[in-house]
Structure 1
Amino acid sequence: MSSADSIEAPIYAGLVEEQGDVPAEVRRVAEEVLRDADRAVDFGAVRSSAAAR
């Protein structure tokens, strides 16, 4: 979070200080899960059939 954000949204800044940046953490975990899933499952066939429609 930038200093401009904390000036514009002091309540949010306080929550981030107390609880951490939950949206950023969720985004990081979701990206990690997608990478893991992509390595574990071959989605190529699904993407090909979806593109053919």
Structure 2
Amino acid sequence: MFQDSPIYDRLVAECGDVPAQVRREAERVTRELEVVLRPLHVPGLGLGPGPGPERPPQPGNGWQRTAMLPGPRPH
């Protein structure tokens, strides 16, 4: 990327190749996340990608209450 740059060469000599280190670390983290986020698949048990367990409804899903504005109420 910065092959013919004496300033970059000096920085690399003083501090190490920080962009290359960051790139390697990002690739390592990406590989770990791929393993962690991969769906569980157990042959013969029927566990694997597909619909997950039923989740209880979360507040705010469906109807929502509206705040009453101050003043006279409509009849």
After TM superposition, the score normalised by the length of structure 2 is 0.47
TM superposition shift of 1:26? 0.3
TM superposition shift of 1:42? 2.1
Q: Hey, which of these two has a bigger chunk of helix by percent?
A: 1
Identical positions, percent: 49
Cα distance in 1 for residues equivalent to 2:20 and 2:11: 13
Q: 2:5 aligned with 1:9, yes or no?
A: yes
Q: After TM superposition, where is structure 1 displaced by more than 2 Å over at least 4 residues in a row?
A: none
Unaligned runs of 5+ in 2: 40-48, 50-75
Give the secondary structure class of the aligned counterpart of 2:13: helix
The structure, 1 or 2, with the larger RCO (C-alpha pairs under 8 Å, 6+ apart) is: 1
CA RMSD of aligned residues (A): 2.0
Paired AA for residue 11 in structure 2: L
Give the secondary structure class of the aligned counterpart of 1:39: helix
The within-5 A match list for 1:1-53 is 5=3, 8-42=4-38
Q: How many residues align?
A: 39
Unaligned runs of 5+ in 1: 46-53
